[in-house]
Structure 1
Amino acid sequence: MEELSLAGADNGVAVGEAGACPWPLTAVTYNIHDAIGTDGRYAPERIAGVLAEIGADVIALQEVPLGGGGRASVLDLLREATGFHAAEGPTLDTPTRRFGNAVLSRYPVVGIRSIDLSFGSREPRGALDADISCHGHPLRVIATHLGLRPAERRHQIRLLLQEFDTDRMPVILMGDLNEWFVWGRPLRWLRAHFDAVPAPRTFPSRLPVFALDRLWISPRHHLVQVRVHATPLARIASDHLPLVAHISR
């Protein structure tokens, strides 16, 4: 795991006692598809509008343009629109283009790490691992986007599960898992580790068929509800719908 610097982070923010809970909380995972909607139009302001509709506390984003080569950073736009703290986890980082995962949080992000999930010659993949201080209580959020081939996803889930060997703070794993085999090994391994969670369909956004976007939490009993945000704006802003989780004591 690679430690990343966090620009503007207040390293003096306390993270509270081990085992303390930051609830209640609303969390969202959302693949924004380069901010290109189902009408083929690049419109990051629509993504900002969808996030405003939801009003979440912590947001995991995938397929986020992060700038480079004179391109605009969609994450910068969303940070300004929400007023949230932001952390980026590029999986593609070149002079001409930066692209990958991101986290937006109502609460301070006090540390971030990068987990490399790349597999052979396939497209680089990764996870953004962020520590968040919610009113002094610690929360760990991992945002990821897995690969397209079954062997690739199995490798990536094994790597991710190695990171969950601690109970010092609550953990939320969320992202686009690209896994549609309900009885495939990756989902079975995740259920065994985190327990079962609802998985409503999120893709494609106009008429969802597949539950590609997932959210897992430990401890599991804090998860109250999982739902899809399927407003008219959300159906056009991206080819995925946001998955929303309500978490409480």
Structure 2
Amino acid sequence: MIVASYNIRKAIGSDRRRRPDRILDVLREVDADIIALQEADRRFGARQSALPLHMIAEHSDYMPVPFDIRPGSLGWHGNALLVRKAATILHHAPLTLPALEPRGAVLADIRLGGREIRVVGMHLDLSGLWRRRQAHAVMAHIQQQPRALPTVMMGDMNEWRRHGGCLSDFGQHYRFAETGPSFHARQPIARLDRIVVGEGLTVAETGVHRSLHARTASDHLPIWARLRFG
């Protein structure tokens, strides 16, 4: 199973134009089975999806996990999950995180290809103190789920260091996929975007998607990992 994480910056590219079609082009290139998106909803007004729902339905192989927080939005505090149309969504929930500014995460249990997996998408705070509190909150939410499943957590963790902070907190119980730097898209030097896996999953292959479309569609590049069960 291939998973990916992508901060789409509300579909605003390096040319400062909002082009959701470019984001969909990148998603087709990555061709992951499950994708965690950050900054997927617009920031102001009705906070509708930066990727129009009809475009996802008509021009991709994906469907959004229906968190239904606001009409026309894709997720919760900009976090969203896209899954193959062949997938079955067994359970889904928005997760409230401690924060000074609005922050959240999203969780879904997915069945695809006869396998079940728990997926968490997140976009953590700019403050290191709050990032650590949010990391503990995410892990606590996972622990509170009524049944255990192989779990992958993905998102923009806003952690510039390679070690320490929220990364050390996650690292006590989970393993990081070594995907490489993904920010800034034009000249990536920082590993702000991360994929973290728990028991029952093995990371077989990883990467950062560096196509021409990806370098212009957002200020982040998508990261991906091929996972094996068992």
Shorter-chain TM-score range? 0.7 to 0.9
**Per the alignment, in what secondary structure is the counterpart of residue 162 of structure 1?**
helix
Instruction: Give 5+ residue unaligned stretches, structure 1.
Output: 1-24
Contact 2:67 2:74 in 1 (8 A): no
**Structure 1 pair 45–163 and aligned structure 2 pair: CA distance change class (3 A):** same
Please tell me the residue identity of whatever aligns with 1:103.
L
Measured after TM superposition, the shift of residue 95 of structure 1 is: 10
* Structure 2 counterpart of 1:163, from 130, 141, 145: 141
Runs of 4+ in 1 over 6 A off after TM superposition: 94-98
Q: Write the distance in 2 (CA, Å) between the matches of 1:88 and 1:181.
A: 34
- 1:132 maps to what in 2? 110
The question of 1:226 aligning with 2:203 is answered no
Q: CA deviation at 1:85?
A: 2.4
Q: Does 1:123 pair with 2:97?
A: no
Query: 2:23 aligns to what?
Result: 47
| 1:146 equivalenced with 2:124 (yes/no) | yes
The structure that has the greater radius of gyration is 1
| Residue among 35, 51, 65 paired with 1:59 | 35
State the one-letter code of the partner of 1:191: G
Shift of 1:196: 4.2
**Equivalent position SS for 2:154:** strand
- 1:1-249 matched pairs, under 5 angstroms: 25-65=1-41, 69=46, 74=51, 76=53, 77-87=55-65, 100-106=78-84, 107-119=87-99, 122-165=100-143, 168-219=148-199, 222-249=202-229
Which amino acid is the alignment partner of residue 151 of structure 1? Answer: L
Maintained 8 Å contact 1:88/1:101: no
CA distance in 2, matches of 1:100, 1:124: 10
Q: How far is 1:136 from its partner? A: 3.9
TM-score for the superposition, normalised by structure 1: 0.80
Contact 1:89/1:100 (<8 A) preserved: no
CA distance in 1 between partners of 2:191 and 2:73 (Å): 33
1:71–1:137 Cα change, 3 Å: closer
Whether contact under 8 Å (1:85, 1:108) holds in the other structure is no
SS, match of residue 100 in structure 1: coil
Q: Distance in 2 between matches of 1:103 and 1:242?
A: 14
Q: How far does residue 87 in structure 1 lie from its aligned partner after superposition? A: 1.7
Q: Which amino acid aligns with 2:78?
A: G
1:22 — aligned with what? none
**Identical amino acids, percent of aligned pairs:** 33
5+ residue gaps, structure 2: none
Question: For the structure 1 residues 190 and 97, does the alpha-carbon distance in structure 2 shift closer, same or farther, using more than 3 Å as the test?
Answer: closer
> Distance between the aligned counterparts of 1:168 and 1:116, measured in 2?
20
Say if 2:132 and 2:165, in contact at 8 Å, map to a contact too: yes
User: Using the alignment, how far apart are the partners of 1:70 and 1:152 within structure 2?
Assistant: 24
Name the stretch that deviates more: 48-57 or 130-139. Answer: 130-139
Q: Distance in 2 between matches of 1:124 and 1:69?
A: 15
Between the two proteins, the alignment pairs up a number of residues equal to 222
Amino acid in the other structure paired with 2:171 = R
